[in-house]
Amino acid sequence: MTPRCENIAPRFSERKHEDDQYVYYSIEGFDGLFSYPKELPYHNFAQVISEGFLKYHWHYYEIPQTKIEEGDVVVDCGSAEGFFVFKHATHCKHIYCIEPLPVFSRALHKLYDDSKNVTIIQAALSDKVSHLYLSPSSISSTCRLVSADERDIHVKAVTLDSLFAARSIKIDYLKADLEGFEEMMIAGGLETIKMSKPKIVITTYHQGQDYRVLIGLIRGVVPEYKYLVKGIEENVGNPVMLHMWC
């Protein structure tokens, strides 16, 4: 049985201090401090650290076929608190962080505003440029096409193609955890995938997802993609992660 993330995280992180908005942690093997929003539960931080350090974890993004290489241009779709960026910013040529939730967008700016190779884009990803809605009460909020509550957060929606293919920006690595919006993100990024043939890592465990649809979309524009799925989500029954590479 895998230990609880609250027991794993202290092996790799140490709480140093806090201010009104953030708790600051030293992270094993990394310089500088990682700041995490104080308003969010420790469990969420512990989960992020566990997933980021345990290579056998189903939510670990890199396998040998989808490893981030020195000098890669990385697109992090659903950057959340920014720990994926924290791990890789020093050896990537550039990382584009795309995140719609204000609490996480603020945290990203706190961490990376002074980093020349990190670009922060506060937006949701979809199959067309438009707008979407997010619940204000959840850090794992699923985007909605129509507002369900007057408190919903109105966010700009963009496509990968509008950000990259349309600007002839070649990318090497595409990572996505979008709480079920992954299919729409891929549908709006097929020209970018066709142009760049990046390594692709996508979470596939959310309700209503079908990893086979994602594979079909991607192979429809680049047939030579190989793939591997891993893990199983205990409640939904979907694989946890889809890895694809050429």
* Structure confidence by residue, pLDDT tens digits, 133-153: 887 766 766 777 788 778 888
Q: Which domains does the chain have, with CATH numbers?
A: 1-56 (3.30.920), 58-245 (3.40.50.150)
pLDDT in the model for residue 33: 97
pLDDT in the model for residue 2: 59
pLDDT in the model for residue 132: 87
pLDDT in the model for residue 207: 80
pLDDT in the model for residue 151: 81
| Maximal CA-CA distance, the chain | 51
Residue 136 has which token pair? Answer: 């204000």
Q: How far apart are CA 109 and CA 114, in angstroms?
A: 9
Nearest residue to 188 (alpha-carbon basis) of 143, 219, 157: 157
pLDDT in the model for residue 137: 64
Strands 94-98 and 118-121: parallel
From first to last of its 246 residues, what are the pLDDT tens digits of the chain?
A: 557 999 999 999 999 999 999 999 999 999 999 999 999 999 999 999 999 999 999 999 999 999 999 999 999 999 999 999 999 999 999 999 999 999 999 999 999 999 999 999 999 999 999 988 887 766 766 777 788 778 888 899 999 999 999 999 999 999 999 988 899 999 999 999 999 999 999 999 988 889 999 999 999 999 999 999 999 887 778 899 999 999
Which residue type does 53 have? Answer: F
Q: How far apart are CA 11 and CA 50, in angstroms?
A: 9
Burial class (CB in 10 A: 0-12, 13-18, 19+), 55: exposed
* Structure confidence by residue, pLDDT tens digits, 72-90: 999 999 999 999 999 999 9
What per-residue string of b and e applies to 151-186 under the rule 16 or more CB within 10 Å gives b?
Answer: ebbebebbbbbbbbbeeeeebbbbbbbbbbbbbbbb
Q: Give CA angle at 217 (211, 219), nearest 5°.
A: 100
